[in-house]
Amino acid sequence: MPVSKKVDDHVIGGTLNKNGALIMEATHVSGDTMLSQIVTLIEEAQTSKAPIQRIADRIAGLFVPLILILSFLTFSGWFIFSEVCIQTAHSCKSSGGNTTISNGTSNGESCSSDCMHIDSVFQYAISVLVIACPCALGLATPTAVMVGTGIGASRGVLIKGGEPLENAHRIKVMVFDKTGTLTYGQPEVVRVILLLKEKVFTSRLFMAVLGLAEGRSEHPLGEAITRFASRELGGDPVGDVTEFEAEPGLGMRCSVKDIELNSSKQQIALYQNKTSVITRRAEIIESDRNNVSSLLSLATEYKVLVGNRMWMARNGINIPEDVEKDIVSHEQQGQTVVLAAINSILCGVLAIADQVKPEARGTVAALRRMGLRVAMLTGDNWRTAEAIAQQVGIYPEDVNAEVLPSHKKTLIESYQQGKTKVAMVGDGINDSPALAQADVGIAIGTGTDVAVEAADIVLVKNDLTDVVAAIDLSRKTVRKIRMNFVWAVLYNAIGLPIAAGVFSPLGVSIQPWMAAAAMALSSVTVVCNSLLLRCVCYRKPQLSERERGSSYLQQSSERGSKTRLHSGAKNEEKVPLLSEGKENRASSWSDYGTRSSNV
């Protein structure tokens, strides 16, 4: 189906423009293009070995010598039996044929009727060699892996080899990053609260300082602030930024100087826009004369701190009680609150909202129906984290808030206790260690190159329902592999005794040409069984009316918070295993209207 594109969207080489005109900028060329990388990835994936194939390789390695031994034993056994008959026939001939047996015939006639000719002995031995088929064992895994990865690629799910394709069906815990994964990762400033009087620090100057400071940041929240400042000022602010330093999961600091605010266009734009989201509550912070003079005396250079509560506390910035109430109010709405301090004075509060992807709730419900435990981790505070979790249907006890990037990997390790298989879905640079640590790392294709490189599965379409498709495809592929193995074992278990002549007394035997035809048929059957995967069609999870309703939000709000906080180096809490606390979770889960019976 056609996909709509807008300004600043990425366009993959090799796609077709259905209508309209495009002006594109080439960001990658030659082997670095997305199309070339997809082709290379598929080629490598289809030639890689799944762990289950190693078992088949070991069996196939023993299969050939065992068949040679079996063929030799078949020949020896029948030859010894037939030679006894030949010796008996020779004895009969030497006696002149006068000896008779109970049926009244001559001894020589009896011998000739019971003896096996030497060509029959060779026939059984050769049939054993011909009908034995290690090919079915050898083809059981690679054919299914090749078809499975091909199907995934055609649906925008790039699986990097047979190992992640096989491991995905064992996943018991699915961990989602929040920003850019469950949400669009395109946050927007929805409210700004200025805490100083206009004569102390003007609105234009505040927005210019923040716009310049966050212009160096690559964090989605920083980019949102930069876009907002440019929009409110009517253009990009002009100035110099030095000593920029970003602390992942906390905030940033820098120095801003030589700010130019002489444009009447900026002043008009800010005046027109400030009534929408910018408010002033100067009564909260009563700046004394020293603070006022401190701001005014350094009118050309400002020390800027932008970040969360922890970042403010680390830098000695106190947060008044009234400001804290405003912060809590926005966090309970699922918004992220950023604090801004200039020259050690708290000057403003910015509330930033990131829209939840519409398919996120359905994806979580579908994964839970498949028997997976779904968790979320985020660097946001626990109120924002729980608000987002309620919107997508993740239980509070599975929400991990205030997780620093350096601790995401540790969190995945804690979920992996007891050999539990864990998958991680993320898109950012700070998700890369966790993606690499997880048994299966799943990266959003629109994310950073580092995250895509560290992941085992890449979702090209930035569609969360493809996570469900990846797990479903893995399960169906592994099921096909097992069916192929069962067929290969049954074929050899039945065919070898028949070829060896075990059932010849019952009149059941085959010629070598029949054995050759059966051998070829067994290999063709395995290949055809794998190709049946192409008949599988993956659909996006369909949300029921119950899942669309608000009962989840209403009921979960009545429960006490069980969200785990992971703050700094003090985070030593271990995540409960699936086998732990089943009774407690069972009783708490019963409060949810959207709980699946398979969980």
pLDDT digits (tens, 9 = 90+) for 332-347: 888 889 999 988 889 8
pLDDT digits (tens, 9 = 90+) for 43-97: 554 455 556 666 666 776 777 788 888 888 887 877 776 654 444 444 444 444 4
Please provide the CATH number assigned to the domain covering 188-353.
3.40.1110.10
The sign of the torsion formed by the CA atoms of 333, 335, 340, 344 equals positive
d(CA 418, CA 567) in angstroms, rounded, equals: 25
Least confident of 34-48, 110-124, 245-259: 34-48
Distance of CA 252 to the CA centre of its chain: 30
Q: What is the DSSP letter of 337?
A: E
Identify the three-state secondary structure at position 215: coil
The sign of the torsion formed by the CA atoms of 295, 301, 303, 305 equals positive
User: Which residue do the tokens 């102390």 mark?
Assistant: 200
Which residues make up the CATH 3.40.50.1000 domain(s) of the chain?
172-184+357-473+559-589
Residues marked active site are found at 177
| CB-based burial label for 480 (10 Å; 0-12, 13-18, 19+) | buried
Identify the three-state secondary structure at position 369: helix
Per-residue tokens: 180: 């850019």
pLDDT of residue 389: 92
More confident residue, 185 or 367: 367
- Give the pTM: 0.67
Per-residue tokens: 115: 């003896």
Q: Are 263 and 235 in contact (CB under 8 A)?
A: yes
CATH H-level, domain 172-184+357-473+559-589: superfamily? HAD superfamily/HAD-like (3.40.50.1000)
> Is the pLDDT score of 594 beyond 50?
no
Short-list 191, 573, 555, CA closest to 377: 573
d(CA 206, CA 320) in angstroms, rounded, equals: 20
What pairs with residue 174 in β-bridges? 374, 423
Which residues make up the CATH 3.40.1110.10 domain(s) of the chain?
188-353
Percent of the chain with pLDDT over 90: 17
Q: Are 360 and 324 in contact (CB under 8 A)?
A: no
Per-residue tokens: 598: 């398979």
Interior angle at CA 202, CA 200 and CA 206, nearest 5: 110
Q: Are 573 and 563 in contact (CB under 8 A)?
A: no
| CB-based burial label for 34 (10 Å; 0-12, 13-18, 19+) | middle
